[in-house]
Amino acid sequence: MAINLKGRHFLSILDFSAEEISAVVKTARGMKAERSKGGNAKPSPQPSPWKGEGGRLPLAGKTLAMIFQKPSLRTRVSFETGMTQLGGHAIYLAPTDISLGKRETTEDIALVLSRYADLIMARVFGHEIVEELAKYATVPVINGLSDFEHPCQILADLQTILERKERLTGLKAYYIGDGNNVAHSLMYGAARMGMHMTVITPPGYEPKESVTKKAKEVGAATGSTITVTSDLAAAKGADVLYTDVWASMGQEAEAEARKRIFKNYRIDANTMKIADKDCVILHCLPAHYGDEIDYATSRLPNSAIFDQAENRMHAQNALMVHLVHG
């Protein structure tokens, strides 16, 4: 079935159907194969269709406005480099450049940027900000991260899992750690793609109940199962092990208390003993080695964390091309 994503917003992984997610990931794998810089990725059987007319790069003459309330390494560099590779231009707007809802209303910012740019990406604290930007913008808005979801990360994660496992449906994925924005998007992505997802977290730090309920509803149509537990032994036979920092940006005051609470909720040699021997290790980075993952485990052949980081760029490149061209 042909898909057309032209002009769409991407605020949640659930904004796209399974077919649409698969199409974006397929394009990303093709783009990566064309640009191949090594690593463990296998070339996609289908090359990217986005070569541009007459050698013209697919986003030539296009501009991406990047709104940042939170600093970032991967988000800024992957989007900015990606736009350069695709022939376009990215503009970085720091918190001091654009005080969302303070110096100007979010509505006015969305309307003004829509007159200048072809795409808007926002990395913000509150999810309501990207929702308001999308409400008023007349160009596609991409959620580069909010306190509720991190959908671009999950596109890259799905691509990375496919590179290692060559399938998504039926795989058993386990997320160990805080039930945060990444966990939310992982649950939605797993449910959409027919994966079995278990979130293992200390009592009181589970994902939002509304997210668990919605993920289970979505998963009912795809054969996915969604489980939330505090039992670390649940990771037995895992195909994918995923973790994230225990304290996200903005939670620094809780960091020491969380270290005590989360001390056993980590990926290390003990976790690997109960996982499948070929399980894929994922971490969206930055990593706090010795906390949620130990350094030695992060460097095992099973680890795909740097493929995962690279794939942020390829997945986002594919996303932007689809949002502009269809």
- Which candidate in 9, 29, 74, 123 is catalytic? 123
- Which candidate in 74, 127, 147, 153 is catalytic? 153
| 150 flagged as catalytic | yes
| 152 flagged as catalytic | no
| 123 flagged as catalytic | yes
- Which candidate in 8, 312, 314, 322 is catalytic? 312
| 314 flagged as catalytic | no
- Which candidate in 150, 164, 196, 258 is catalytic? 150
Assign 3-class secondary structure to the chain. CCCCCCCCCECCHHHCCHHHHHHHHHHHHHHHHHHCCCCCCCCCCCCCCCCCHHHCCCCCCCEEEEEECCCCCHHHHHHHHHHHHCCCEEEEECCCCCCECCCECHHHHHHHHHHHCCEEEEECCCHHHHHHHHHHCCCCEEEEECCCCCHHHHHHHHHHHHHHHCCCCCCEEEEECCCCHHHHHHHHHHHHHCCEEEEECCCCCCCCHHHHHHHHHHHHCCCCCEEEECCHHHHCCCCEEEECCCCCCCCHHHHHHHHHHHCCCCECHHHHHHCCCCCEEEECCCCCECCCECHHHHCCCCECHHHHHHHHHHHHHHHHHHHHHC
- Which candidate in 147, 244, 291, 307 is catalytic? 244
| 284 flagged as catalytic | yes
- Point out the residues that are catalytic: 123, 150, 153, 244, 284, 312
